[in-house]
Structure 1
Amino acid sequence: MLLNRLTLALAAVLAAPSVLAVEPFTVTDIRVEGIQRTEAGTVFSYLPVKVGDTMTDEKTAAAIKALYATGFFKEVRLEAREGVLIVTVEERPSIAKITLEGIKEFSEEDLKAGLKQTGLAEGQVLDRSLVDKAEQELQRQYYNRGKYAVEIKTTLTPLERNRVAVQFDVVEGESAKIQQINLVGNKAFSEEDLLDEITSTTPGWFTWYTKNDQYSKARLGGDIEILRSFYLNRGYLEFNVDSTQVSISPDKQGIYITINMTEGPQYTVSSVKLAGQMLVPEAELQKLITVVPGEVFVRDRLTETTKSISERLGNDGYAFANVNAVPELDKQKNAVAFTLFVDPGRRVYVNRVNVTGNTKTRDEVVRREIRQMEGGYYNAEQINRSRDRLNRLGFFEQVNIETPSVAGTTDQVDVNVNVAEKSTGSVQLGAGFSSSEGFVLSGSVSQANAFGTGNRVSLQLNTGSVNTVYALSFLNPYYTLDGISLGYDLYKRDVDTNNLDSVSDYESSTLGAGVRFGFPVNERDYISLGLVYEENSLKVDPTVPAGQQQTEYQKFVDPDKTGNSTRDDNTLRVDASWARDTRNSYLFPTHGMLQRVSSEIGTPVGSLQYYKLSLQHQQFIPLGHDFTLMFNGEVGIGGGLGDEELPFYKNFYAGGSGSVRGFETGTLGPKDYTGDAIGGDRRLVGNIELLFPLPGVKADQSLRMSAFIDGGAAFGPGDANGLYRDFAFEDLRFSAGVAVLWVSPLGPLKFSLAQPLVSKPGDKEEVFQFTLGNAF
């Protein structure tokens, strides 16, 4: 006979034979009591007992264990009444809301997203262990930012309907600063030199911006690798960091770091030889070896060598070529011999080229930049070139190319191109200030990837005290399948030099329309041809002071001295250019070159007939990891065709930002009797610039500093003093100084401080020059 009321929970929990005081019974019905949010069906689904089963001690224990395991309940009881199994539960409260108070270092949305990853989120059942885990995760995030004094207090507030509010009260405190970094064991290099190499540093002028004075375990690990690379690139093959100690001051505001190291001896390279299956003439691979016997070992050269040999084999289809450099140390002579074992692997070809991630950009726009063809042998050079071309489009934040093996084959790979798109349309309104043009307003509406076609459309406005430009342009970079581009331009340009004290006064208004074609010769060379029609209106002051002569401007407008102040012309102009660009970056190049030849010809169809030719050569040479040497040379020449002269407003100018810094804009060249610059029909400019990161902010890619030497001038027949008529070395001006370029969120900003090295009386110097905003 069953008891009228039996509590089975105790027997299940104690689960001992001596405790069992209940005889087994057959379950005729099951009732659930105490639920508020949870559905009864949910309880039944977890309950390992059904109507008709025989209830035993084992099933009682299993039922209670299963219901506790759901995490929904904080108490579970089982009772039996005349064959009816009664399940009584008390639910855990649900989280109604999560609030964070005192948060300044992070965004609240980001922190809540992180808490959700730990399982703590609004609407979830409260688990105290998860709350503790979330508190520890918050603390860890603050420790990663160097805030070791952070205090976090968690408050749980009960609400109606068995809910609870979770609040984290945070007192962030101040970030702990690195007060001292000690290097122990260094003998070959001073501590000062080594500390200059790593990113972690003590507080300085720029650390408020870089945060490099805040301790981070990841940053310290990176600094150790920097030290290791530093020593290995100087021949210390046995260099080792033995240990690191990090301590914090009692007030948790100061961090002290000690790095213990063993330098070992410096090794030179005794020999380098090739071995293995090369499949390429050994003489060709020998040319790729940059490790030189007899010189101090440099690890970067060895890495470059193995990479170059692997890529060379990859160009012939050996996608998985491996070059293993095996050293043989002679510790008596402190010399190392390397054997480069070449394993080409199996030659493979490309099965499919797959493109993903382009939700807006059409598939064809991506594929036309890819140089690796389906069905062809794998070619590492073509794949790298494809990545470079896609990056240069400017449509994508990131381009990843992977080459996984095709399942079930040993000689096939797929090329998976994954792109992360970014916004290519922009509406910009801005203001800037130029030391030559004063206050400048600018605005533009542009779409570099219109409707995902790769076509570019832009409307631009730039208004300054000297130049005002309105321009509408369109470019189809693939007007034909083989990459011939087609573009259209419509523009209006007004020039008023009255606000330039150093240049003669005139006003001009030009309205132009043009069409241009671009022809890719190869991956690096590009030819452009354009046809432009312009209408130009020119205005000068015709007044000639008593005893003075006409200026060159007045002669052009009023050659017969009739008192005319305006002249209207039209021009049918042909533009042509050739460019070769091997730079690795458009903004901050570190190697490569830019060569450009351009011409502008006013044809006999218009009233102005002239020509202008320009040549530029720019070379970037890397000097170590952080320094780049830049050489730039520019030559220009122009003149009239037939009986015409070169229009004065087409003259070349020199001086100022972009040519010879330290002198006022456009002043280095012929001048009229008033002393104002009028430009010339020839121009020569040269620059030598050493580019390097701004001290203290090496990791910031938006900042760069340089030391430079500039030289140049313009030449022509119009000089009133007989100077600059023909090219003469003594007429060249030179300057030297430093410059800073910052690509700020508001636009590029450039400062320069230059001191003229070679100048003459009458030159107009301008030591400090800068441009701010979009007016460059």
Structure 2
Amino acid sequence: MFLEVRRLIAGTGLAIALSSTPTILHASNDAFVIEDIEVEGLQRIAAGTVFSYLPVGVGDTFDEAQSADVIRALYRTGFFSDVSLLRRDGVLVVTVEERPAINEIRISGNRDIKTEQLMDALQQVGMARGRVFNRSVLERMENELLQQYFARGKYNVQVDVDVDELPRNRVDVVIDIAEGRVARIQQINLVGNETYSDQELTGRFESGDPPWYNPFSRRDHYSRQRLSGDLEALRSRYLDSGFVNFNIDSTQVTLTPDRKDIYVTINIDEGEQYAISEVSLAGDLVVGEEALRALLEVESGDTFSRSRITRSANAISDRLGDEGYAFANVNPIPELDEDNRTVALTFFVDPGQRVYVRRINFSGNTRTRDEVFRREMRQMEGGWYSASNVDRSQVRLQRLSYVEDVNVETRRVPGTEDQVDLDISVRERLSGNFMIGAGYSQSQGVLFNTSVSQENFFGTGNRVSLAVNNSQVSTLYSLSYTNPYYTIDGVSRGFNVFYRETDAFRADISRYSSNRLGANLTYGIPLTEYDTFRITPGFESIEILTSDNTPDEIFEYLDTEGDQFDLYTLTASLSHDTRNRTVFAEKGNLQRGTLEFSVPGSDLEYYKIDYRNELFTPVREKITFKLSGEVAYGEAYGDTGDLPFFEKYFAGGTRSVRGYRDLSLGPRDSRNDPFGGNFRVLGGAELIFPPPFMEEAANVRMSLFLDAGQVYPSYEDFEADEIRASVGVGMTWLSPVGALTFSLAEALNDEPGDKLQSFQFNIGASF
């Protein structure tokens, strides 16, 4: 006879049932010494795992009172749905029934939240592929999914869960989600505001009524996280206006019975407005007090402003960081005078230990050599830590075309007080491109192109490109190579060899064709951190082809100068570039002055001068205002009568004045085709922002623009009222086949004879 002890689940109660079978041994409740332990019923779980959880072992004395402890210990593992204990002579037999394992979790119906995010949430509650399935977790799982959607304002969401049983004690968990629509905010009410109106306070909220000009806006979609951000913006508005004791008493979010609309009520207590009575510096002023006071944005008599105080503290901390105090702490301490409603501010400076950089470590660069990144560093190993040098190093790294993102962390060296390591993680983007493509451009017609380019050749940072491009306007064959660090000082060197055939008539300008074969060599010399001088000597052989439709102006020029030219050219440019990025810059300035001329002794002698300026100013996060302008002039010298017609300036189109046909502005020839001029002025203003319908896209930008420009025979012919202007909306997409641009523009002051083109694009597609 043997003794069986089983845990019975009845509701929430626990019972131990003893049953005897009088067929083997005489039943006995006496204690016995465990001679051996056997585990029966295991399928996936190893017996050793069970033994590790048992509170008893071989050689222990076992009695009926310990049965509950053993069963409870095994149930607590979550691996088993049933546990039985049996005694067979001196052997303790543990019989278990394993819970099924989760074979797969399938989620369908989710559009607003990615499957990966939902899987991560399920894993937090213990529901993941390969884990033990426990039906008691199902309710927690459903609640977690609901909370994920509630946080996004989707209160009508429905989650249905089915469990499909499979062979070998496995199950599939099938989750079907009906998301419903987001509850929309009908109204945000502010209670207690006396200084500012509701509109002034809610105008910068991310939640509220959608703007009339943006049909894709989700501003009225309720989101708990977005509302939390709005409350912090509200708090900042008051604290920046001197209301030191401002408080948000309560926030009520009311959901209508149909769960479709939301009303938000925010109760606030403005308190009194305070001014700054005194500003002082205290602590260890390792930098002169006068130099630190120059960094303060607040002074006695100013209205209290948390943001200006924070910026002042950060400016002092950064200044100390430039002196090697990497962990400086600047704590602004306010002392309130309730009677006079003033605040005495003390900036307490604790510079900490001055440190130097022991080592700079790079990670994430699977293709690029370490030295390629190290040569961009402005913070040196073994030197005193400098916050501005670290920041500049990060900017230089993220300006590299083959780097997508850069993160810099400053880490103390264990066991030292005066050393830090810089851990720099980079995320590389694909730097090579092999493309065979076809497309269409409004200015060049059907395109065929083949190119092989590598911005980071074998991880060296060198650029190599081989291209074959063909269109109705031009055919181009080119090979180029650039080493950005030809010398250790950062002098770059590159060369370019090309052959280009151009049919100008198909570009809607004067009717002629040209064949140009050339080569050039470029040196780039860094003068300062932001200034670079480039010089490019080159040679070009040009052949001009005419037809019966070629205008008289070109025939007259060729009769005088000939139709084949060998030109020795020299181009010099000086650029000043403080942009934080080279693509989709958010702040900074680019200025470039260029002088190009054919040296004396060339078949044609001429020069061209160009000045270009672009200024990027951040307006809000992800919104940038851009101002641009360009002035260019060219003229002949020596025995050459005029600037060659194939070197004249043009305007109009996606790269200058949108809304006017490409190259259509300026002087015309005797056949009324655009002929180009010697003097060009361009200007523009753009408000650049991510598309409202895809705000998180990093490779797409839209803009509202104002373009202006014109081309004149000479600078002496300049007349401001001849400048053409347009307004419109544009979009740029950095696609796998290159930058694609689209614009919809309206001309503001076109004249009869101008060639307009409201919608313009340049698009291609690989095949």
Could you state the TM-score of these two structures normalised by the residue count of structure 1? 0.86
Are 1:576 and 2:577 counterparts?
A: no
Partner of 2:558: 557
Query: CA offset at residue 197 of structure 1?
Result: 0.9
Are 1:320 and 2:320 counterparts?
A: no
Query: CA offset at residue 730 of structure 1?
Result: 5.0
CA distance in 1, matches of 2:207, 2:595: 51
CA RMSD in angstroms, aligned pairs only: 3.6
8 Å contact kept, 2:7–2:82: no
8 Å contact kept, 1:749–1:773: yes
Partner of 1:649: 646
Query: CA offset at residue 748 of structure 1?
Result: 4.2
Query: CA offset at residue 588 of structure 1?
Result: 4.2
CA distance in 1, matches of 2:622, 2:337: 33
Equivalent residues in 2 for 1:349-360 (5 A)? 349-360=356-367
Query: CA offset at residue 304 of structure 1?
Result: 2.6
8 Å contact kept, 1:328–1:338: yes
**1:33-80 deviation digits (Å, cap 9, x = unpaired):** 333444445444444444444322354344323332332222222222
Partner of 2:254: 247
Are 1:482 and 2:482 counterparts?
A: no
Are 1:526 and 2:528 counterparts?
A: no
Partner of 1:63: 70
Query: CA offset at residue 294 of structure 1?
Result: 5.0
CA distance in 1, matches of 2:168, 2:450: 56
Q: 1:66 to 1:418 in 2, by over 3 A?
A: same
Partner of 1:339: 346
The letter for the 2-side match of 1:749 is T
8 Å contact kept, 1:242–1:261: yes
Q: 1:107 to 1:668 in 2, by over 3 A?
A: closer
- For 1:642, what is the secondary structure of its paired residue? coil
Partner of 1:136: 143
Are 1:456 and 2:454 counterparts?
A: no
Partner of 2:296: 289
**1:303-344 deviation digits (Å, cap 9, x = unpaired):** 332222211111111112222223355666665553333332
Query: CA offset at residue 648 of structure 1?
Result: 1.0
Query: CA offset at residue 732 of structure 1?
Result: 4.3
The letter for the 1-side match of 2:552 is T
CA distance in 2, matches of 1:460, 1:332: 76
Q: 1:733 to 1:38 in 2, by over 3 A?
A: closer
Are 1:753 and 2:759 counterparts?
A: no
Q: 1:154 to 1:283 in 2, by over 3 A?
A: same
CA distance in 2, matches of 1:331, 1:48: 65
Q: 1:764 to 1:741 in 2, by over 3 A?
A: same
The one of 158, 168, 171 equivalent to 2:175 is 168
CA distance in 1, matches of 2:341, 2:62: 82
Q: 1:360 to 1:16 in 2, by over 3 A?
A: same
Q: 1:184 to 1:588 in 2, by over 3 A?
A: farther
Q: 1:99 to 1:497 in 2, by over 3 A?
A: same
Partner of 1:669: 666
CA distance in 1, matches of 2:493, 2:612: 24
The letter for the 2-side match of 1:55 is F
**1:447-491 deviation digits (Å, cap 9, x = unpaired):** 222222212223445555444444332222112222111222233
Query: CA offset at residue 363 of structure 1?
Result: 1.2
**1:88-126 deviation digits (Å, cap 9, x = unpaired):** 222222333333343444454554454345432333322
8 Å contact kept, 2:705–2:730: no
Partner of 2:630: 634
8 Å contact kept, 2:5–2:17: no
Partner of 1:710: 708
- Structure 1 range deviating more: 60-69 or 198-207: 198-207
CA distance in 1, matches of 2:337, 2:712: 62
CA distance in 1, matches of 2:468, 2:220: 43
- For 1:226, what is the secondary structure of its paired residue? helix
Are 1:539 and 2:545 counterparts?
A: yes
Partner of 2:760: 770
**1:195-247 deviation digits (Å, cap 9, x = unpaired):** 33111234566877554432221111111222233344444444433222112
The one of 706, 713, 730 equivalent to 1:740 is 730
- Structure 1 range deviating more: 178-187 or 147-156: 178-187
CA distance in 1, matches of 2:585, 2:305: 24
Query: CA offset at residue 430 of structure 1?
Result: 6.3
- Structure 1 range deviating more: 728-737 or 312-321: 728-737
CA distance in 2, matches of 1:182, 1:43: 60
CA distance in 2, matches of 1:500, 1:213: 48
- Structure 1 range deviating more: 88-97 or 512-521: 88-97
**1:374-429 deviation digits (Å, cap 9, x = unpaired):** 22111111111111111111333321212222222222222221222332233456
CA distance in 2, matches of 1:607, 1:668: 29
- Structure 1 range deviating more: 426-435 or 349-358: 426-435
8 Å contact kept, 1:713–1:731: no
8 Å contact kept, 1:94–1:125: yes
Q: 1:49 to 1:312 in 2, by over 3 A?
A: closer
- For 1:770, what is the secondary structure of its paired residue? strand
- Structure 1 range deviating more: 306-315 or 65-74: 65-74
8 Å contact kept, 1:540–1:557: no
The letter for the 1-side match of 2:384 is Y
The one of 505, 518, 524 equivalent to 1:498 is 505
The letter for the 1-side match of 2:535 is L
Q: 1:14 to 1:149 in 2, by over 3 A?
A: closer
- Structure 1 range deviating more: 551-560 or 425-434: 425-434
Q: 1:415 to 1:470 in 2, by over 3 A?
A: same
Query: CA offset at residue 691 of structure 1?
Result: 2.6
- For 1:66, what is the secondary structure of its paired residue? helix
CA distance in 2, matches of 1:236, 1:774: 56
8 Å contact kept, 2:216–2:692: no
**1:168-194 deviation digits (Å, cap 9, x = unpaired):** 232222332223322333344433343
- For 2:233, what is the secondary structure of its paired residue? helix
CA distance in 2, matches of 1:658, 1:148: 48
Q: 1:772 to 1:205 in 2, by over 3 A?
A: farther
Give the percent of matched residue pairs that are identical in Structure 1 and Structure 2. 42
Partner of 1:721: none
> Which consecutive residues of structure 2, in runs of 5 or more, have no partner in the other structure?
9-13, 21-26
Partner of 2:374: 367
**1:615-671 deviation digits (Å, cap 9, x = unpaired):** 223334556778765443322222234212421111122344444455444444333
Q: 1:327 to 1:768 in 2, by over 3 A?
A: farther
CA distance in 2, matches of 1:711, 1:228: 46
Are 1:214 and 2:221 counterparts?
A: yes
Aligned length: 749
Query: CA offset at residue 348 of structure 1?
Result: 1.6
The letter for the 2-side match of 1:764 is D
Are 1:422 and 2:429 counterparts?
A: yes
- For 1:480, what is the secondary structure of its paired residue? coil
The one of 420, 440, 461 equivalent to 1:413 is 420
Could you state the TM-score of these two structures normalised by the residue count of structure 2? 0.87
CA distance in 2, matches of 1:543, 1:6: 113
8 Å contact kept, 1:177–1:202: no
The one of 503, 507, 511 equivalent to 2:517 is 511
Partner of 2:24: none
- For 1:230, what is the secondary structure of its paired residue? helix
Partner of 1:24: 31
- For 2:319, what is the secondary structure of its paired residue? helix
The letter for the 2-side match of 1:609 is E
The letter for the 2-side match of 1:592 is G
CA distance in 1, matches of 2:647, 2:486: 32
Q: 1:673 to 1:7 in 2, by over 3 A?
A: closer
